[in-house]
Amino acid sequence: TAFVSPYRNDRDRVRQWVESEGRTGDFIEVFVDTPLAVCESRDPKGLYKQARAGKIKNFTGISDPYESPSSPEIHINGELPVEELAEQVLTHLNKRLAC
């Protein structure tokens, strides 16, 4: 299951839970490291603009923080084309499955 989790503590708790269930290695944290300006330029719904105008509260990156992960399994450059990002994630996952 994929989750957008802006808080490091939340991600760490899920990792600990997965590992406590005996599934060490099954939690894969993917950090798509994307500058805020790129996020805003790729926003077809205009949510960032609404958040900047104060119409959306607690919006990650605008009025609420995003805490970067300290050691994600996958760290990719979010400025790359979406297709390339997906390919990088799939390549990593396929390598893990091959082990």
69 phi/psi in degrees, rounded to 5:
-70, 150
Look at the chain and report how many structural domains it folds into. 1
12 is a domain residue = yes
69 is a domain residue = yes
Residues with Cβ within 8 Å of residue 79, at least 6 apart in sequence = 34, 35, 38
CB 35 within 8 Å of CB 53:
no
**Domain range spanning residue 56?**
8-98
31 is a domain residue = yes
3-state secondary structure of 66: coil
pLDDT digits (tens, 9 = 90+) for 33-75: 999 999 999 999 999 999 999 999 999 999 999 999 999 999 9
> What is the reported pTM?
0.84
CATH number at residue 90: 3.40.50.300
2 is a domain residue = no
Burial (CB count within 10 angstroms: exposed 0-12, middle 13-18, buried 19+), residue 66: middle
Active-site residue, 5 included: yes
DSSP assigned state of 71: S
